[in-house]
């Protein structure tokens, strides 16, 4: 593991936390792409190049599917600056930070007893992504946010599994799952957009 593991893992968690807190479709897509980049750099530090490249290529393809769907449906808006911060966003931020703090506190024991071959920062990052993804699924109902949350969850799961055992077959299954989630999310986004258009006078 390199000396930058904490930086890359922390960035991945920070991007997942931003998507948990923010409610802006344009920034959600951008932050998801950055999250996959941070994961690529983290995976690159302990795994072979091919494994890391597959992860980022599949992640960016999934992100591109969501972006093109939003753009073609006219749902992308200019980013607001400065961004507004509401009380509900503050609550989601505190919940996300609490989750990360608890995982960080439990990681040493989990590493010794359950995942002895997984580096601690990889364990913290993978578990953090999974729990933040689950939180986002429970807090949001729009298709884009649910899709991004599920992609975040499976990114964490794939990172954890890849730190234990690297299997070409299972990596292919993870890639197919990510792309299937992105395509399903794109379909639901278009469907919701069509329903809203039909409801307009």
pLDDT at 198: 52
Task: Give the Cα separation of 129 and 191 in Å (integer).
Answer: 28
Q: Is the pTM of this model over 0.85?
A: yes
Q: Tell me, what DSSP letter sits at residue 76? A: -
Q: Are 156 and 133 in contact (CB under 8 A)?
A: yes
| Per-residue pLDDT tens over the stretch 76-132 | 766 666 667 778 888 999 999 999 999 999 998 988 888 888 888 999 999 999 999
> Distance of CA 59 to CAs 36, 50, 86, 138, 165, Å?
6, 14, 30, 22, 20
**Pairwise CA distance, residues 147 & 38, whole Å:** 19
């Amino acid at each position: 593991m390199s000396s930058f593991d904490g930086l890359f893992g922390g960035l991945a968690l920070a991007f997942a936390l931003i998507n948990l807190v923010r409610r802006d479709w344009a920034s959600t897509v951008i932050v998801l792409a950055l999250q996959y980049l941070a994961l690529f750099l983290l995976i690159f530090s302990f795994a072979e190049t091919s494994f890391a490249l597959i992860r980022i290529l599949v992640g960016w393809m999934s992100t591109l599917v969501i972006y093109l769907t939003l753009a073609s449906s006219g749902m992308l808006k200019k980013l607001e600056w400065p961004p507004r911060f509401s009380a509900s966003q503050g609550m989601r931020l505190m919940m996300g930070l609490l989750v990360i703090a608890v995982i960080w506190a439990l990681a040493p024991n989990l590493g010794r007893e359950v995942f002895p071959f997984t580096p601690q920062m990889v364990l913290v990052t993978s578990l953090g992504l999974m729990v933040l993804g689950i939180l986002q699924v429970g807090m949001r109902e729009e298709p884009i946010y649910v899709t991004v949350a599920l992609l975040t969850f499976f990114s964490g799961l794939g990172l954890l599994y890849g730190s234990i055992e690297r299997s070409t077959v299972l990596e292919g299954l993870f890639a197919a799952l990510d792309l299937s989630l992105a395509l399903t999310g794109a379909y639901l986004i278009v469907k919701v957009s069509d329903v809203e258009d039909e409801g307009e006078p």
